[in-house]
A and B are shown apart, each in its own frame.
Chain A
């Protein structure tokens, strides 16, 4: 269906793609793998017409093409679903589905009725009961993704590219997604699937291509590869143990964090748990279960409605982030680019941000001390950055995350809440981050890991809380922790739970 030969693309200072050749066929799901910076998104943008390659040819559907803008690629039948979901929140579902090519009636005015009918049809095909008039901004993330897929169905899509679609959904919603993909594949569409989650690749893909450092490494049928061989191809070294051994916190220790009856409308209905120092507590659940909201409520980023939080023996009441930080509680947010990193400041400033007061003597910031502290952290976490005063915006996801780890471990020595700590982080960096988490636990810090990546939760946590729709549906520890057990609790029937609770 599509064949790229010898594609090269450079940007100021970096050669993103170096003579990459890639082909994908109609009626297959072709996975695209590689570490961050390997060139996957550049390749996709070249296919989609958003970038023009410096060298190389594109052959699509039997014809040699060269797009000069995304519109041409779209018209030819290529549709890309980006991770950032390019939807217009203020417009309705139907309007989003038809963006750019609405059905026209008299005098070339938009035919609203036809648009609604078409939207209904597409949504029905997807098996989704969305109101085509609903504003996209009112939809959940999973529903928005459905709209994106719907966009692909509206036009005659021959090539569909999905860029990390399961980064924001999980469990049953991911299953639905895979079903849709399979339907499309059977209908002859060529699907290119980019993901960091190897278990998904094995589940859906027919073939897989690995990119590394802007070059094509290999393309193989899925049956011929194993997890290990894929990782080796991506990273260049073999990884036996991704997860370090789990810590063994002293069971008799007093909890460093106690949460009772936490309530915060609308997402958190009733949450209680304890956290021991030195343990890694995983919080799993489907997207929308309320896990991040629990973290926000404890940390003080949002105001809780009711509930008691006791931090290291002291009542942690109506906290603001400042109060939490001073009390030893840190929070590494989900969205590191939007809510975590300070893109306009350098590495040292990013690391010192919550603990700035500690660098102030007689009213002024001791810049030298700040830089030295950053240097220490860079060494300790092995952050690949030119120096303590260089910028953070151009760093890879893994390195950016490490900077945030450095920030929070400096700031908080009691409890650390990590929300999706390896999202958008490549395999090599993931391993290092898992090691860091283990070290934190060993140092006596209570670590909470909120994650939608089940293997991660299973691999890291000594104990797992599973949440669904704002309540804790169950707790697993030790040998009981498994992906199946977690999924069962994450999708537990709410009526059943209510019944057992009442009993």
Chain B
């Protein structure tokens, strides 16, 4: 049998990515006609900055979905991290950095708990993370019903700082996304995530550390949610026990729109990043058009429907 030379590189264009890019172009084009302030760099930078928090959470969610699960506790995690940092630091310069480190560790730890319960008891992650979310929310609300705590002024500015002309937050988001994307594509761990998401039992029988991979993914999701929560403290300067409420569902939209399927094993960070940009742009555009927040919700729902019904999915549970 003649051995083939390495075949020419066929660039496989992912249908989902193509759709999102297409939609992005449409939105940009449409926005430019609506308002000339829309397509300016200044505005786009603002969008990137606003997208950062959602972006962090979406990165974590992408990982959870890729491994075949889902993390519905991210919103509660964001809130908890938010309140924790503001209360713990309480304006003290000295405690700021330790506070940040502590909250990230905490986030990973809670995520780890999610993972452990999911793997050990066999309960669907939907239920487990819902439970965790409820517990976290309850604990936070028991602690405080109103925004509380504060942070030193220099940290507050952080959220609005720029470096090389780009908002720091946006940069950190893109760098984080790039790192995670690299890990997913090029490391054994990343490959294992796809394998476990595709077929948990097969992965296990192939000798992959399926359990460990799952645990680490949920820990990562918790970590990123905590990161988003800490970022929010910088933006608002205080700890708000309601801040994370919309985040859970909001984190799923860009993941799904970006082509990562809820069954697991398929998709990636690129799609999520594009999805985050798309959602943020659309929201921004709707603001420019003075469309009420309520209609924005409707649009968001329609985006979800359109994006997922465009490609017929493998019918998998969830």
Whether B191 pairs with A110 at a CB distance below 8 angstroms is yes
Q: A50-B205, A71-B207 are in contact. Are A133 and B7 (CB under 8 A)?
A: yes
Q: A70-B204, A86-B199, A86-B206 are in contact. Are A102 and B194 (CB under 8 A)?
A: no
**In the complex, what residues of A have CB within 8 A of residue B192's CB?**
100
Whether A102 pairs with B188 at a CB distance below 8 angstroms is yes
Chain B stretch 193-211: residues in CB contact (< 8 A) with chain A: 194-195, 198-199, 201-209
**In the complex, what residues of A have CB within 8 A of residue B222's CB?**
none
Taken together as a complex, chains A and B put the C-alpha atoms of A75 and B207 apart, in Å, by 9
**In the complex, what residues of A have CB within 8 A of residue B6's CB?**
116, 120
Chain B residue nearest to A123 in the complex (CB): B3
Taken together as a complex, chains A and B put the C-alpha atoms of A86 and B89 apart, in Å, by 51
Q: A88-B202, A99-B206 are in contact. Are A124 and B194 (CB under 8 A)?
A: no
Say which one of A12-20, A89-97, A225-233, A318-326 lies at the interface with B. A89-97
Chain B residue nearest to A91 in the complex (CB): B194
Whether A88 pairs with B194 at a CB distance below 8 angstroms is yes
Taken together as a complex, chains A and B put the C-alpha atoms of A110 and B182 apart, in Å, by 10
**In the complex, what residues of A have CB within 8 A of residue B3's CB?**
120, 124
Taken together as a complex, chains A and B put the C-alpha atoms of A99 and B206 apart, in Å, by 7
Whether B7 pairs with A90 at a CB distance below 8 angstroms is no
Contact of A129 with B by CB under 8 A: yes
Contact of A204 with B by CB under 8 A: no
Whether B187 pairs with A109 at a CB distance below 8 angstroms is yes
Q: A90-B266, A129-B4 are in contact. Are A82 and B205 (CB under 8 A)?
A: yes
Whether A70 pairs with B207 at a CB distance below 8 angstroms is yes
Contact of B10 with A by CB under 8 A: yes
**In the complex, what residues of B have CB within 8 A of residue A104's CB?**
188
Nearest Cβ in chain A — how far from B42, in angstroms?
Answer: 38
Nearest Cβ in chain B — how far from A288, in angstroms?
Answer: 20
Contact of A131 with B by CB under 8 A: yes
Taken together as a complex, chains A and B put the C-alpha atoms of A71 and B205 apart, in Å, by 8
Nearest Cβ in chain B — how far from A218, in angstroms?
Answer: 30
Whether A89 pairs with B198 at a CB distance below 8 angstroms is yes
**In the complex, what residues of A have CB within 8 A of residue B205's CB?**
48, 50, 70, 80, 82, 86
Whether A100 pairs with B265 at a CB distance below 8 angstroms is no
Chain B residue nearest to A135 in the complex (CB): B12
Whether B191 pairs with A99 at a CB distance below 8 angstroms is yes
**In the complex, what residues of B have CB within 8 A of residue A74's CB?**
206-207
Q: A90-B198, A99-B191, A109-B187 are in contact. Are A129 and B1 (CB under 8 A)?
A: yes
Contact of B317 with A by CB under 8 A: no
Chain B residue nearest to A72 in the complex (CB): B207
Taken together as a complex, chains A and B put the C-alpha atoms of A70 and B205 apart, in Å, by 6
Contact of B186 with A by CB under 8 A: yes
Whether B186 pairs with A109 at a CB distance below 8 angstroms is yes
Contact of A380 with B by CB under 8 A: no
Chain A stretch 139-186: residues in CB contact (< 8 A) with chain B: none
Chain A stretch 74-118: residues in CB contact (< 8 A) with chain B: 74-75, 80, 82, 86-91, 95, 99-100, 102, 104, 108-110, 112, 116
Contact of A127 with B by CB under 8 A: yes
Taken together as a complex, chains A and B put the C-alpha atoms of A69 and B192 apart, in Å, by 17
Residue in contact with A133 in the complex, picked from B10, B187, B265, CB distance below 8 Å: B10
> Which of A80, A82, A89, A127 is packed against the most chain B CB atoms within 10 Å?
A89
Chain B residue nearest to A84 in the complex (CB): B202
Taken together as a complex, chains A and B put the C-alpha atoms of A129 and B5 apart, in Å, by 11
**In the complex, what residues of A have CB within 8 A of residue B194's CB?**
88, 90-91
Chain A residue nearest to B199 in the complex (CB): A88
Nearest Cβ in chain B — how far from A103, in angstroms?
Answer: 10
Contact of A260 with B by CB under 8 A: no
Contact of A128 with B by CB under 8 A: yes
**In the complex, what residues of B have CB within 8 A of residue A131's CB?**
4, 7
Chain A residue nearest to B188 in the complex (CB): A102
Residue in contact with A110 in the complex, picked from B4, B187, B195, B265, CB distance below 8 Å: B187
Whether A110 pairs with B188 at a CB distance below 8 angstroms is yes
Taken together as a complex, chains A and B put the C-alpha atoms of A99 and B188 apart, in Å, by 9
**In the complex, what residues of B have CB within 8 A of residue A100's CB?**
188, 192, 206-208
**In the complex, what residues of B have CB within 8 A of residue A124's CB?**
1, 3
**In the complex, what residues of B have CB within 8 A of residue A127's CB?**
1
5 residue pairs bridging A and B, Cβ less than 8 Å apart: A70-B206, A74-B206, A88-B203, A90-B194, A99-B195
Besides A70-B206, A82-B205, A90-B266, 8 more A-B contacts (Cβ < 8 Å) are A69-B207, A70-B207, A71-B208, A99-B191, A100-B192, A124-B1, A131-B4, A131-B7
